[in-house]
């Protein structure tokens, strides 16, 4: 009886895995997970979810939000996709993570940094750290693009938008002249200034106009001189 019982549970877990595998992003919310389990005649939904976490079928990212980690196949879940989906409102990857994504800074960045129109927030999860900074609506829409991971799209700042965001949110450093801006870019961020030769200044000009930031205007003037 014990063997039959164990085999039955293994078979049911495999059926659950197959259902979860239909979600190509491997990102599952509570309502979806509950629906799958109810359709498979589970009564104690929350107990089963706890059991699935203990078995490593899913990982909890935040309340009501899970990643299908799979017992069958090793799922590679893009952190960018997780970041885009953690909040109940739009967000895009930016700041240090985006700068590293484009190879503009030499360091690998493990914290996924993002921008949102809602309040700033940080999630510490088993997958990693996901942080969000608030920005006003008018700046949110500028210079955001779509990238793809295994046919799944995520929002990320263009390289021009990412550097603007980084400078815009940097506090405690006086960036009031061309020389101080160059020192910040080369010494603090370790960006190769020659990279700016290929930047789209239209994005930076729009960012400067909307933000009314003197720092961004100095950046724009610097890039135009290159």
Question: Chain-centre distance of CA 12, in angstroms?
Answer: 33
pLDDT on residue 9: 62
Which regions of 143-220 does DSSP assign to beta strands (E)? 144-149, 152-157
Statement: residue 20 has pLDDT above 80 = yes
Contact 184, 144 (CB under 8 A): no
pLDDT on residue 130: 96
**Tens of pLDDT, residues 45-98:** 999 999 988 888 888 888 888 988 876 666 677 889 999 988 878 999 999 999
- With both helix axes pointing from N to C terminus, report the angle between 30-39 and 2-20 in degrees, rounded to the nearest 10: 130
pTM for the predicted model, two decimal places: 0.84
pLDDT on residue 8: 57
CA–CA dist 204, 210 (Å, integer): 10
Helix, coil or strand: residue 65: strand
Domain boundaries, the chain: 2-68, 79-225
Contact 82, 100 (CB under 8 A): no
Contact 36, 29 (CB under 8 A): no
**Tens of pLDDT, residues 118-176:** 999 999 987 889 999 999 999 999 999 999 877 778 999 999 999 999 999 999 888 88
């Amino acid at each position: 009886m014990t063997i039959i019982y164990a085999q039955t549970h293994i078979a049911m877990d495999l059926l659950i895995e197959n259902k979860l595998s239909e979600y190509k992003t491997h990102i599952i919310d509570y309502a979806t997970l509950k629906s799958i389990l109810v359709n498979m005649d589970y009564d104690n939904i929350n107990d089963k979810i706890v059991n699935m976490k203990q078995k490593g079928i899913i990982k909890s990212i935040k309340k009501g939000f899970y990643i299908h980690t799979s017992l069958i196949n090793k799922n590679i879940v893009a952190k960018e996709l997780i970041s885009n989906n953690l909040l109940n409102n739009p967000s895009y990857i930016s700041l240090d993570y985006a700068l590293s994504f484009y190879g503009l800074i030499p360091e690998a960045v493990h914290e996924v940094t993002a921008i949102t129109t809602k309040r700033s927030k940080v999630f510490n999860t088993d997958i990693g750290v996901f942080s969000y900074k608030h920005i006003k609506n008018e700046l949110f829409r500028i210079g955001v693009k779509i990238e793809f991971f295994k046919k799944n799209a995520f929002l990320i700042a263009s390289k021009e938008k990412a550097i603007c965001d980084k400078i815009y949110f940097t506090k405690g450093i006086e960036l009031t002249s061309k020389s101080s801006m160059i020192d910040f870019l080369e010494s603090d961020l370790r960006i190769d200034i020659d990279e700016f030769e290929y930047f789209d200044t239209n994005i930076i000009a729009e960012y400067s106009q909307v933000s009314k930031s003197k720092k961004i205007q100095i950046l724009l003037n610097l890039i135009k001189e290159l």
